[in-house]
Structure 1
Amino acid sequence: MGVPAAATLIFTYGTLKQGFSNHALLQEMMASGDAAFVGAARTLQRLPLVCGPYRVPFLLNLPGRGHRVSGELYAVSPAALARMDELEGIGRGHYERLPIEIETASVEVEAYYAHRSYAEAMWLRSGEEAYNCYTEKAAKGYVKRKDRPQHLTFLDQIRLFLSDSAQPEPLLH
């Protein structure tokens, strides 16, 4: 299957990767020709990859901290990109889609970062420790969206998580 026309390259590092809960969306888009798997990828810069509430992964736009993060690269059509933006809550302040440098890519690539309004607090809440890859072990305890409290918005869940800063979230190695 070829790369969709007018494709945007997206670096995925968490639940959109193969074997994780939101990968079904990418599979559906690949089946319809709106996305194509490009390959494994790793960030050029060190960036923090942390887990927030419900073991949801967040890439923080704090270059020089954390590790070079491993993930997957996908080429997605404009329609697929809109669906990914919706999943990632771009219009609701959950994540921001911004450029990212990938070690083998000489073209523009984007990724979904934790929104800047809480990224620094998320880094502090993690005890300033990060993952280099979101793995099954790191995802242990992940709670799917449908199983989370429905009376709270995701931003409310993030705020509650960050307000409980007495204990840093454990890093599972």
Structure 2
Amino acid sequence: MKIHPQQNLVFTYGTLKRGFPNNSIMKDIQASFIADANTKSKYPLLQAGKWNAPFLIHHENYPGSFHVQGELFEVDEKGMSVLDEFEGVNNSYYKRLRIEVYTQNKDGFQISKNAWCYFRYQKSAQLLANTSGFLPFFGNEELKKYTPVHLRPSNWRENK
């Protein structure tokens, strides 16, 4: 697993993963898939809101949370700007923070990596208070409930 010095590692846990609706963004920015990964710490991952989107809350080892399963990508600085825009970092909707994730090498040994991750910031306390449980991963069953961006009204960011 060779990481280029000018690149960033990004942990994705939702619709940016391979085979999911927003992975086209990862392709557009020429992000390189590195490996499947899990968060070192447990975090609350939930599916909520009007669009049933996956949200990761930055509350380490929150009761009932899981080591979240996702994917690790390599992204250049220009690509990071695109992801920040998509995730609404400039609007304080999400925050981009560094976390530790684990991947496995070809011999099955765990390797710890430091990666960027997008955490829901806006209304996170409210989401935690109103959830009925957390997810270990966002998969195909959860995807069935999700409303893709292209099916939302043009002002959807204003109505989150």
TM-score (norm. length: structure 1): 0.79
Alpha-carbon distance, 1:151 to partner: 4.2
Alignment partner of 1:56 is 2:60: no
1:111-140 Cα distance to aligned partner (Å, 9 max, x none): 00001x41121112212x100000010122
Cα distance in 1, alignment partners of residues 10 and 36 from structure 2: 12
Alignment length (residue pairs): 149
Deviates more, 1:14-23 or 1:138-147: 138-147
Specify every segment of 5 or more residues in structure 2 that has no aligned partner in the other structure, as ranges: 104-110
Counterparts of 1:92 and 1:17 in 2: how far apart (Å)?
23
Q: In structure 2, how many angstroms separate the alpha carbons of the residues matched to 1:27 and 1:148?
A: 22
CA 1:148/1:5 → structure 2, altered by over 3 Å: closer, same or farther? Answer: same
Deviating 4+ runs (over 6 angstroms): none
Partner residue, 2:142: 138
Q: Which structure shows the higher strand fraction?
A: 2
Question: Does the Cα contact within 8 Å between 1:49 and 1:132 map onto a contact in 2?
Answer: yes
Among all aligned residue pairs of Structure 1 and Structure 2, give the percentage whose two residues are the same amino acid: 28
Counterparts of residues 7-86 of structure 1 (less than 5 Å): 7-30=7-30, 35-53=31-49, 54-65=51-62, 66-86=65-85
Query: Is the Cα–Cα contact under 8 Å of residues 52 and 145 in structure 2 kept in the other structure?
Result: yes
- Output aligned runs, 1:89-128, within 5 Å: 89-104=88-103, 105-115=111-121, 117-127=122-132
* Shift in Å, 1:108: 2.4
What is the TM-score normalised by the length of structure 2?
Answer: 0.85
Residue 106 of structure 1: how far off its partner (Å):
3.8
Deviation at 1:64, TM superposition (A): 1.0
Please, what is the CA RMSD of the aligned residues?
1.7
